[in-house]
Structure 1
């Protein structure tokens, strides 16, 4: 067995392991279509390597050569389909499948050209480069926010496309790819080509696998940090994300404020109208909070009927206006399941982060301000006394 044969065998085994890894993700998360397509891609990769390995056994290798080409190009198309599902891009199945047919016919037609013909080599390698560039386009045109790992995947896709496009030149520099298909595996070019394929194929597979695993972990974390009823962060999730938002605001030198709200007489609503009505009150307030919050705000349900929202880039005066606007708007909302003339209200406590203060201190002061609002008769806004010396002490009270 020559060196190229050995690499072909290694590639076949690696492709099988990668297919199993992607399939494991697909089984773990049955809704992750991208994992199924990526698993299928590497199953086709196994078939390609098996055909390549068997080519020396054929007296006339034209059909197995075309078959190997079509199967590997099909693997790149399946890979692109997986990426498209992952990055929320509509898979361009029709163009890719038409390209597969046209490219396979072209490879069949150039079989009678001399082995060292540049046209023949380009017909074989350029379609792979086109599919890798298509994969690069899928990643870069995604509407999802790309992280460093996604940019690295895009970079390797571009490099892989370039190496496919350059293989005809590499073959020429290394003396060609053999006098016939049976001799291919004994050439220096076969060793280099299969080695490059191993490096890029493994790099792309590991990056795609890392991206999927990252998404699975992110979704698991998100579920563990999300309150099922309100669909806001639960207390643990809120405290973690709010602390990160606060630290980012401090690093950028902008103010940050915290608003805490508590639904008034919530137990009375449950006792009078039932827990289903109470749940609808929570859902209504949470939905209003989600709509009122900007993208950089962090909102959460931190207790049974208690909510909080941290406002980076907002000072105490603006946060107080936000809370007063929320109080007025929520008080005007009709709620399904409650009498038509019944209106719910909420009390609010507001605090702005002070110098050398941590998130726990900010939370404590906002909670103290909320306690003042509850003691003042509810349905009102109170601000933390710690900053009243620096800002106007005006208090908004919905009761007049």
Structure 2
């Protein structure tokens, strides 16, 4: 058994382990279609390695060689389908399957060319390169936010496409790929080709697995931080994201404000119209808050009828305008499950992060402002000027007396 054939056997088992890993993710989350396609792709990879290993046993290798080519190209297409589902892109099945058919027919006919013909070698390798470039295009065209792992995946796909495109020239430099298909496994090129292919195939699989696991963990974290009724962040999730938003704002040198809102007379709504009506009020206010919030804002339900929103890049005056607009608009909204004449209102407390403060200080001051709003008859906005502003006012009074 040659070194290349030994690597083929290793690749077969590795492909099986990778297929099993993707299948476990698919079983864990039945809605994750991408994992099923990736698992199928590596199952086809197993079949390809098994067929490649069996080629020396056939006198007429043409049908087996073409089958191996088609199966491996099919594996790259299944991989692309998995990536498309992962990145929210419509899988280009018709063009990819048409490409598979045309490439397979081309490989059948180039068998009549001399074994070491560059055209013949390119007919094998360029379709693989094309599918890797197609995978790169799928990831690139996605509108999803790309992170470091996604960027690394694109880089490896580009490098993998390049190595497929360069293989005809590598084969020529290393003395060809054997006098016949049966002799392929004994060539230096086969050893190099299978080794390099193993590195790229394994790297792509690990990256795809890491990205899927990242998404599974992110979704699990999101579910644990989301309030079921309002579909906003719960208190724990809000505090974690608020801390991050505050640190980012301080690092960037921009203001950041916190608005806290409390639904007025909420207990009387539950008592008069039932808890279903109260839930509907919470859902309505939460939906209104989601619509009013920008993408970089952080909104959450931090208590039974209490809500909060962090506004990065917003100073106290602008935050007060935001709260006044929210108060006015919500007060005019009709609420399902309540009488037409009934209008719900909310009270608001606003504070801007002051120098030297942390999130707990900001939260405390916004809560004090909210308490003032509720003590002033509700359905109003009150602001906390902050320690620095109070000190400035005090100094101004002293100067004026002087």
Shift of 1:150: 0.2
Distance 2:321 2:180 in 1: 79
Distance 1:176 1:104 in 2: 21
Distance 2:284 2:227 in 1: 14
Shift of 1:332: 0.4
2:284 aligned residue:
284
Q: SS in structure 2 opposite 1:348?
A: strand
Gaps of 5+ in 1: 393-400
Shift of 1:112: 1.3
1:197-223 CA deviation, whole Å, 9 max, x = no partner? 100000000000000000000000000
Q: SS in structure 2 opposite 1:112?
A: coil
For normalisation by structure 1, the TM-score amounts to 0.97
1:389 aligned residue:
390
1:398 aligned residue:
none
Distance 2:391 2:236 in 1: 32
2:107 counterpart of 1:122: no
Distance 1:208 1:177 in 2: 31
* Superposed counterparts of 1:1-400, under 5 Å: 1-386=1-386, 388-389=389-390
For the Cα contact (< 8 Å) 1:229–1:279, is it kept in 2? Answer: yes
Cα distance change, pair 371–222 in 1 and its aligned pair in 2 (3 A): same
Distance 1:184 1:209 in 2: 32
For the Cα contact (< 8 Å) 1:369–1:384, is it kept in 2? Answer: yes
Gaps of 5+ in 2: 394-402
After the TM superposition, which of the residue ranges 150-159 and 372-381 deviates more from structure 2? 372-381
For the Cα contact (< 8 Å) 2:16–2:42, is it kept in 1? Answer: yes
Shift of 1:390: 7.6
Distance 2:385 2:174 in 1: 79
1:247-294 CA deviation, whole Å, 9 max, x = no partner? 101100000000000000001000000001000100000001000001
Say what the alpha-carbon RMSD is for the aligned residues: 1.0
Q: SS in structure 2 opposite 1:238?
A: helix
Shift of 1:384: 1.1
Aligned length: 392
For the Cα contact (< 8 Å) 1:348–1:381, is it kept in 2? Answer: yes
For the Cα contact (< 8 Å) 2:352–2:385, is it kept in 1? Answer: no
Shift of 1:374: 1.0
Distance 1:385 1:219 in 2: 38
Shift of 1:391: 9.1
Q: SS in structure 2 opposite 1:307?
A: strand
1:64-105 CA deviation, whole Å, 9 max, x = no partner? 000000000000000000000000000000000000000000
Q: SS in structure 1 opposite 2:390?
A: coil
Shift of 1:389: 3.2
For the Cα contact (< 8 Å) 1:369–1:385, is it kept in 2? Answer: no
